[in-house]
Amino acid sequence: MIEDLEELVLCESFTHDLEAVARSAKVVAAMGARYLGAQPEFLVIDGVTHLRWTFGTPKVFLLCHHDTVWPIGTLATHPWSVVDGVARGPGVFDMKAGLVQTFHALAGLGSLDGVTLLINGDEECGSRTSAELIKETARGLAAAFVMEASADGGALKTSRKGTALYTVNVRGRAAHAGLEPEKGLNAAIELAHQILAIAAMGAGATTVTPTVLSGGTARNTVPAAASISVDVRVAEMSEQNRVDAAFHALRPVLPGTRLEILGGPNRPPLESAMSASLYALAQELAADLGVGPLTSASVGGASDGNFTAGVGCPTLDGLGAVGGGAHADDEHVIVAEMPRRTALLRALIEAVRRGA
């Protein structure tokens, strides 16, 4: 498993470098073929390379990604290493160890019938080209197991917030700020009103966060345009719908200015009800295997598991590596946990195929 992990980590796969993602897909496909005895489908969508294996009539969906957030050349400053049982390197935790665990779990099954495995190449930049593929693959299946890295302490991720991304553009009218400012329509002032209204949309677990602001052209000119980007996180679908309606209900405060609302929901929430039965099953199996006790966590970040839950497929996330430092300089994997998590995944697949 360590040798396989090294092979994947040494093949850098920065999500915004499509040639690197394509090279990574070939390495991942070859590794998968060694363990699964079959070549995958190569699904190239808008230049992004995804891989899918399907065995028989699918019942269990395994979901992974092979892209990372690390630019090409990161190995020079974050080299591959295994020291004192801890593996390090770009993408080792998020989520190349999860890929290795998936292949080894499947290789240990007597039969792969009923399993479909999708490894997409653009999760780290929002799954723009793979979202529909994920949803299409997940519909009607009994379970989706997402091989994203675990939460702190190895906790499984039983709920994730849904995400929405908005941009609000304000159109005003330029004028000389000294000679005749009254002839202008100040887009910056209008944007200030809108930011206050947007920030007030947050409530409870729902966060509505203005992030990137821009506007104006010169210090002595009334701004004719301004904009704000907004990040929204929700725990429940009803909240995603409420916030979306609130954005589209925004109206200008200053007479004569105009608003343009762009964007919307990106991923639905993975609500705990969609993972409850699978988490209970995982707890039972972990106890039987001696790899428990398991813990669970609710997290604010989204994953492709949000898509599978959103189409009604029971979903359990965070089954991948145990370690920490996702997207950070201290990214690492606890090597001793890899075979334990592999055994748990294999048991889950077998149990769901039996109808548990």
Instruction: State the Rg of the chain over Cα.
Output: 23
So which residues are the catalytic ones?
Answer: 67, 123
Domain of residue 204 covers 162-267
Which CATH number does the domain housing residue 188 bear? 3.30.70.360
Same domain, 98 and 49: yes
Peptide bond before residue 95 is cis, with ω within 30 degrees of 0: yes
Same domain, 245 and 287: no
Q: Which pLDDT tens digit goes with each residue over 42-100?
A: 999 999 999 999 999 999 999 999 999 999 999 999 999 999 999 999 999 999 999 99
Same domain, 73 and 103: yes
Where does a domain end: 267, 300, 328? 267
Same domain, 148 and 283: yes
Instruction: Supply the pLDDT for residue 227.
Output: 98
Instruction: Supply the pLDDT for residue 127.
Output: 96
Same domain, 202 and 294: no
Same domain, 128 and 38: yes
Same domain, 117 and 207: no
Where does a domain end: 208, 237, 267? 267
Q: pLDDT averaged over consecutive 10-residue blocks of the chain (356 residues)?
A: 98 98 98 98 98 98 98 98 98 98 97 98 96 98 98 97 97 98 98 98 97 97 98 96 98 98 96 97 98 94 95 98 97 98 98 94
Read off the pTM: 0.89
Instruction: Supply the pLDDT for residue 356.
Output: 81
Instruction: Supply the pLDDT for residue 301.
Output: 86
Same domain, 137 and 95: yes
Strands of the sheet containing 225-234, edge to edge, are: 207-215, 225-234, 162-171, 258-267
Same domain, 40 and 145: yes
Instruction: Supply the pLDDT for residue 257.
Output: 98
Strands of the sheet containing 315-316, edge to edge, are: 41-45, 48-54, 115-120, 60-65, 143-146, 315-316
Q: Which pLDDT tens digit goes with each residue over 258-295?
A: 999 999 999 999 999 999 999 999 999 999 999 989 99
Same domain, 203 and 343: no
Q: In this prediction, what percent of the chain has a pLDDT beyond 70?
A: 100
Same domain, 32 and 156: yes
